[in-house]
C-alpha cells in the first residue's frame, strides 16, 4: 500500500465516483514523463504516434470487452450523455420520422426536454403515476407510426430502477446506459445506439462513449455540423474536433483493469452480489429502511432507500461519514439515501456499509 491509500474512503457518489486505485496510481506514475519521452501524454498532439495507438486500443477494447458485434463502432465524444439527448434526434430523425421515449424518471424527462428542439418526439410510456417505481413490459409501450427509434434509460441513476430485461420492440432501441456502461451484458441486436459518460463505470468525466450500429451511418441526417454528426465523427476516429485525451487515456487503463478482473460477466456478478447484500439488509430491517422500487426493477448500481424521518437520515449520513462511508446522500430531487456501487466499488465497501446500517438500525430502530 502506498502513502496515497491511507486516507482513502469508501466513495458511494453517483458520479464521478470511485476509480480502481491501481489505475489512479498508474496514471500518477506516468503523468509527468510519459514512457521517458520527456513530456506528459497530456502535452502531446492527439494526432501523434503516441496517442493514436492508445485511441485505437481503447476503441477495440471498449468494443470487444462489451461483446459488441462487428457491425458496431464506438465513438469517444464530449458533451456528456446530456449532449446525446439532442444529438440522437438530430442525426436519426427526418421530417417524416419520430422518436419514442419510455419515461422512467428524471433522465428520460431531461432527454425528452432536450430532444424536442431537434425532432418530432413523443412519450410511449410513463411511470409517473406510479412514482417511477418500475419499468414497463414490452406490451405496455405504445409506439406510433413512423417511429425511427425508442429511447430508454437502462438504469435510472437518481430513481434507482433499471430494466431487468430490455423490451422486445419492432423498432431499434437507443439506450442511455450512463450508469451501466460495461456493467451488464446486453442484447446488441436490439440496439442502434448505446451511450453513456465514462464517469461512473469507466473513468473520469470528460468523455462520452457512443456505441453505434455502422450500417445506419449512411442513412443519417447529413445537414448537421460535423462535431454533432455521428457519421463525420466515425469517419474521423472521433477527431472532428480535439478529443478528450486525458479521459480516453484513463478509460484505456480502466478497461485493462476490467479485463484483468474478469470482464463484463464478472462485473455483472459482482454487481448482483453487492446490490443483494444491500437489498437484503433493507428488506430485513422490519421497515426501518425502505426502498420505493418494485423488487424486480431495483437498480444494481444505485441503491436508494429512506429512513423513518429526515432527522434519522441526517444522523445516518453524519455517522456514516465517521466510518469513512461517504457521499450517501440521495439526489436532491428525491432525498433519502443513495449508495452508488459501480464496477470499481470493492465488496468490502458494501460489507462495511451493511454492517454500519445494521448497527444504526439496532441503535435507532
Ligand atoms: C442515466 C443518466 N443519463 C444522463 C446523465 C447525464 O450525464 P452527463 O452529466 O454526462 O451529461 C446522467 C448523469 O448522471 C445519468 O445518470
Domains of the chain from N-terminus onward: 9-15+262-364 (3.90.1150.10), 27-260 (3.40.640.10)
**Cell for 280?**
437484503
pLDDT at 2: 56
179 lines ligand 1 (CB under 6 A): yes
The DSSP result for 104-141, as a single string, is -SHHHHHHHHHHTTTSEEEEEEE-GGGTT-----GGG-
Mutate to test the pocket of ligand 1, among 179, 184, 201, 334 (most ligand atoms within 8 A of CB): 179
List the one residue out of 166, 164, 205 whose CA is nearest residue 14.
Answer: 205
**pLDDT tens digits for range 260-297:** 999 999 999 999 999 999 999 999 999 999 999 999 99
Has residue 238 got a pLDDT over 90?
yes
Q: What are phi and psi of 351, to 5 degrees?
A: -60, -40
107 lines ligand 1 (CB under 6 A): yes
State the alpha helices, DSSP H only, in 148-235.
230-235
Confidence of residue 77 (pLDDT cuts 50, 70, 90): very high
pLDDT at 6: 77
CA of residue 112 to ligand 1 center, whole Å: 14
Has residue 5 got a pLDDT over 80?
no
Has residue 3 got a pLDDT over 60?
no
Asked if 342 and 201 touch (Cβ cutoff 8 Å), the reply is yes
Average pLDDT for 95-117 = 97
- CA separation for the pair 52, 327 (Å, rounded): 37
- CA separation for the pair 119, 108 (Å, rounded): 16
Mutate to test the pocket of ligand 1, among 196, 205, 207 (most ligand atoms within 8 A of CB): 196
Q: Of the listed 176, 249, 253, 306, which one is catalytic?
A: 176
Has residue 151 got a pLDDT over 90?
yes
Residue whose Cα lies nearest atom 9 of ligand 1: it is: 80
pTM of the model: 0.97
Average pLDDT for 210-233 = 97
Pick the residue with more confidence: 2 or 303? Answer: 303
Decide if 71 is catalytic: no
- CA separation for the pair 362, 210 (Å, rounded): 46
The DSSP result for 312-342, as a single string, is HHHHHHHHHHHTTEE--BPPTTT-SEEEE--
152 lines ligand 1 (CB under 6 A): no
pLDDT at 1: 47
Q: Any idea of the CA torsion for 275, 276, 277, 282, to the nearest 10 degrees?
A: 90
Q: How does the average pLDDT of the chain come out, rounded? A: 97
List the one residue out of 106, 85, 103, 101 whose CA is nearest residue 158.
Answer: 106
- CA separation for the pair 344, 18 (Å, rounded): 6
- CA separation for the pair 33, 163 (Å, rounded): 44
Pairing of β 325-326 and β 337-340: unpaired
Q: Of the listed 66, 107, 125, 249, which one is catalytic?
A: 107
Atom of ligand 1 nearest to the CA of 199: 10
Decide if 107 is catalytic: yes
- CA separation for the pair 365, 358 (Å, rounded): 10
180 lines ligand 1 (CB under 6 A): no
In the block, residue with C-alpha cell 457491425: 71
Atom of ligand 1 nearest to the CA of 15: 14
**pLDDT tens digits for range 306-362:** 999 999 999 999 999 999 999 999 999 999 999 999 999 999 999 999 999 999 999
Beta bridge mates, 126: 103
pLDDT at 91: 98
Decide if 176 is catalytic: yes
Asked if 53 and 47 touch (Cβ cutoff 8 Å), the reply is no
CA of residue 82 to ligand 1 center, whole Å: 6
Confidence of residue 147 (pLDDT cuts 50, 70, 90): very high
Beta bridge mates, 178: none
CA of residue 178 to ligand 1 center, whole Å: 6
Has residue 58 got a pLDDT over 90?
yes
Has residue 67 got a pLDDT over 50?
yes
SS3 184: coil
CA of residue 212 to ligand 1 center, whole Å: 18
**Burial of 136 from C-beta contacts in 10 A (0-12 / 13-18 / 19+):** buried
Amino acid at each position: 500500500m502506498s502513502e496515497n491509500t491511507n486516507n482513502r474512503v469508501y466513495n458511494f457518489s453517483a458520479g464521478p465516483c470511485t476509480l480502481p486505485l491501481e489505475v489512479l496510481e498508474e496514471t500518477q506514475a506516468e503523468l509527468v514523463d510519459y514512457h521517458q519521452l520527456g513530456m506528459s501524454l497530456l502535452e502531446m498532439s492527439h494526432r501523434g504516434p503516441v496517442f493514436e495507438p492508445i485511441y485505437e486500443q481503447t476503441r477495440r477494447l471498449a468494443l470487444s470487452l462489451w461483446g459488441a458485434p462487428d457491425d458496431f463502432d464506438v465513438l469517444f465524444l464530449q458533451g456528456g450523455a446530456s449532449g446525446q439527448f439532442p444529438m440522437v434526434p438530430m442525426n436519426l430523425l427526418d421530417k417524416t420520422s419520430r422518436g419514442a421515449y419510455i419515461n422512467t424518471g428524471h433522465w428520460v424527462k431531461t432527454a425528452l426536454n432536450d430532444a424536442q428542439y431537434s425532432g418530432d418526439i413523443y412519450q410511449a410510456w410513463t411511470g409517473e403515476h406510479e412514482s417511477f417505481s418500475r419499468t414497463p413490459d414490452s406490451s405496455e409501450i405504445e409506439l406510433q407510426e413512423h417511429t425511427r427509434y425508442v429511447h430508454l434509460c437502462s438504469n435510472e441513476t437518481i430513481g434507482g430502477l433499471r430494466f431487468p430485461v430490455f423490451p422486445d420492440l419492432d423498432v431499434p432501441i437507443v439506450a442511455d446506459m450512463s450508469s451501466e456502461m460495461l456493467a451488464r451484458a446486453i442484447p446488441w441486436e436490439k440496439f442502434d445506439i448505446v451511450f453513456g459518460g465514462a464517469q461512473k463505470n469507466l473513468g473520469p468525466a470528460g468523455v462520452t462513449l457512443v456505441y453505434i450500429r455502422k450500417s445506419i451511418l449512411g442513412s443519417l441526417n447529413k445537414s448537421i455540423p460535423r462535431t454533432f454528426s455521428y457519421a463525420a465523427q466515425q469517419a474521423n476516429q472521433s477527431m472532428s474536433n480535439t478529443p478528450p485525451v486525458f479521459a480516453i487515456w484513463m478509460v484505456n487503463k480502466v478497461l485493462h483493469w476490467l479485463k484483468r478482473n474478469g470482464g463484463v460477466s464478472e462485473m455483472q456478478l459482482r454487481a448482483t452480489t453487492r446490490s443483494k447484500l444491500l437489498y437484503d439488509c433493507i428488506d430485513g430491517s422490519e421497515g426501518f429502511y425502505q426502498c420505493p422500487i418494485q423488487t424486480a426493477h431495483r437498480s444494481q448500481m444505485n441503491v436508494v432507500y429512506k429512513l423513518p424521518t429526515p432527522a434519522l437520515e441526517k444522523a445516518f449520513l453524519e455517522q456514516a461519514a465517521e466510518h469513512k462511508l461517504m457521499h450517501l446522500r440521495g439526489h436532491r430531487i428525491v432525498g433519502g439515501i443513495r449508495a452508488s456501487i459501480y464496477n470499481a466499488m470493492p465488496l468490502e465497501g458494501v460489507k462495511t456499509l451493511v454492517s454500519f446500517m445494521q448497527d444504526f438500525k439496532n441503535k435507532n430502530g
